[in-house]
Amino acid sequence: MTELILSRLQFAVITSYHFMFVPLTLGLGVLVAMMETWYVKTGNEIYKKMTKFWGKLFLINFAMGVVTGIVQEFQFGMNWSEYSRFVGDIFGAPLAIEALVAFFLESTFLGLWVFGWDKLSKKVHLITIWIVAISSNISAFFILVANSFMQEPVGYILRNGRAEMTDFLAVITNPHVIYQFPHTVLSGFVTAGFFVMGVSAYHILKKNHLDVFRRSFHIAVVFGLISTLGVAGVGHLQGMHLVKSQPMKMAAAEAHWETENPAGLSLYASIDEQGKKNNFEIQIPSMLSFLSYNSFTGEVKGIHELQNTAVQEYGPGNYVPPVASLFWSFRIMLTAGMWLVLMAMLGLYFYKTKAYEKKALFLKLLLWTIPVPYIANIAGWFLAEVGRQPWIVYGLQRVEHGVSTSVSMLSMLIAFVGFMLVYIALAVADVYLMVKFIKKGPEVANKDEHLNSEVKGASLWT
């Protein structure tokens, strides 16, 4: 193993791990804020119970997102210092803005929300959770602006041996982020929608707190369905954009070796990566042209031609990312997405016909569907990041030129193993707590309510 491989492995694990928590935060924050809105509007205590129950799960998940996010920000400098020097002039800005604009809001107002139930008026308390929900989504925007620069560099000039920003507006309105942001945020909403649906289904099956979980189910199924359809729609537009901006990524994700017009979509392919061909494939004719251009004709460039173009442009080298893993991660994401659309539609239908409480199998399926959005999320990021290979910044810097040169293999190994051990332990604790609070239902989350008694506190200065 080399420093490069170890750093790549660490980045992949740490970033994927962080992203196990982020999507739920993005969506569940909005859902909890909606529940509390209903509470404030109607004064119905059931909504307060709901808010507190889902809020507790939100907090456990949020804490994991926050602490793993710190590593996220610092690992660019630790393991990828040459990359950081090269793009810092551009890449650092959205990170700093994310902290200044979003993290401060998020963390400060979350503290107010958690500890402020009896210190703030109902309305102000409601505003605090909306600020948390909105600012976490703003933070998603800025980190995706940063990622989009790696995918599709814009608004820069190569000067002084690095990429320097020339147009801030272009950087934050990067065409890539215009698609990536809604796609990512909506997948977060989907994750939360199915999380709430699945947990509600579990309790409805057990006939626990039906007042809380029927309402939760209703909110989640509507929220989940709209978001699922949104992800799919935006995903299609994003795919069309990627065919233009990162044709190699899409060609590899389709295992599309030869340029064709019209091009067929492979549902299944037996990929021979060494021989650079597919031994066997099952195709829908013209479908790839349609997905690329919304038209059944149109030339879709193949991997071979794109490799030749890249050699002419950037010099000799291999510009083909790992085809089979991209092909399959793309298909995992799509299959998961179709499953989620189906489940959300069925869920809404059964809810409207009031049949869902008797459909034990369906409710169980919903419970087992909770992991599906997570799988889709990770597969999607895998496609985005592995599909960028061999580049760390598309067309500008190759991955091997971004890694730190002053860090020894031993140091990297110590950090990698150390992070893994800590992360595994935290995952165990997190899952334990999540499952515990999910199983116990609303009451436990509120068990300390009697301590809420009014206390005349002394002021700080007496």
Q: For another protein, how many residues bind (rule: CB under 8 A)?
A: 87
Among 91, 213, 217, 394, binds another protein (CB under 8 A): 91
123 binds another protein (CB under 8 A): no
177-236 binders of another protein (CB under 8 A) = none
Q: Whose Cβ is closer to another protein: residue 119's or residue 244's?
A: 119
Tokens at 49, concatenated: 């119970």
Core vs surface per residue 97-111: b (16+ CB within 10 A) or e: bbeebbbebbeebbe
Among 118, 211, 273, 400, binds another protein (CB under 8 A): 118
258 binds another protein (CB under 8 A): no
Q: Which region, judged by CB under 8 A, interacts with another protein, from 43-51, 54-62, 180-188, 315-323?
A: 54-62
Q: How far apart are CA 170 and CA 173, in angstroms?
A: 5
Cβ proximity of 83 and 412 under 8 Å = no
Residue 393 C-beta-side C-alpha neighbours within 13 Å: 23
71-90 binders of another protein (CB under 8 A) = 71, 73-74, 76-79, 81-82, 84-85, 87-90
| Residue 266 DSSP one-character state | E
134-163 binders of another protein (CB under 8 A) = 159-160, 162
Q: Which region, judged by CB under 8 A, interacts with another protein, from 107-115, 283-291, 326-334, 390-398?
A: 107-115
Identify residue 344 by its one-letter amino acid code: A
4 binds another protein (CB under 8 A): no
| Nearest residue to 13 (alpha-carbon basis) of 58, 63, 66, 75 | 75
CB of 117 to another protein, least distance (A): 7
Helix or strand (DSSP H, E) at 272 = strand 265-272
Q: Which region, judged by CB under 8 A, interacts with another protein, from 98-106, 303-311, 317-325, 358-366?
A: 98-106
Q: How far apart are CA 373 and CA 74, in angstroms?
A: 28
Among 30, 50, 97, 303, binds another protein (CB under 8 A): 97
Q: Which region, judged by CB under 8 A, interacts with another protein, from 32-40, 239-247, 376-384, 449-457?
A: 449-457
Cβ proximity of 256 and 264 under 8 Å = no
Q: How far apart are CA 3 and CA 413, in angstroms?
A: 9
Cβ proximity of 135 and 102 under 8 Å = yes
16 binds another protein (CB under 8 A): no
458 binds another protein (CB under 8 A): yes
Q: What is the DSSP string of 299-346?
A: -B--HHHHHHHHHHHH-SS-----HHHHHHHHHHHHHHHHHHHHHHHH
Among 4, 114, 178, 438, binds another protein (CB under 8 A): 114
Q: Whose Cβ is closer to another protein: residue 91's or residue 356's?
A: 91
Q: How far apart are CA 19 and CA 374, in angstroms?
A: 9
CB of 432 to another protein, least distance (A): 8
398-437 binders of another protein (CB under 8 A) = 404-408, 411-412, 414-415, 418-419, 422, 426, 429-430, 433, 436-437
322 binds another protein (CB under 8 A): no
Q: How far apart are CA 417 and CA 421, in angstroms?
A: 6
At 164, is the secondary structure helix, strand, or coil? strand
453 binds another protein (CB under 8 A): yes
Site string for another protein, 262-301 (x = CB under 8 A): ----------------------------------------
Q: Which region, judged by CB under 8 A, interacts with another protein, from 35-43, 115-123, 179-187, 381-389?
A: 115-123
Q: Whose Cβ is closer to another protein: residue 116's or residue 230's?
A: 116
Tokens at 115, concatenated: 């500890």
The residue whose two tokens read 């809810």 is 351
173 binds another protein (CB under 8 A): no
Q: How far apart are CA 165 and CA 155, in angstroms?
A: 6
Q: How far apart are CA 456 and CA 156, in angstroms?
A: 58
Among 111, 233, 317, 371, binds another protein (CB under 8 A): 111
359-398 binders of another protein (CB under 8 A) = none
Q: What angle do CA 362, 429, 378 make, to 5 degrees?
A: 55
Biggest CA-to-CA distance, the chain: 81
Q: Whose Cβ is closer to another protein: residue 10's or residue 369's?
A: 10
Among 68, 187, 191, 292, binds another protein (CB under 8 A): 68
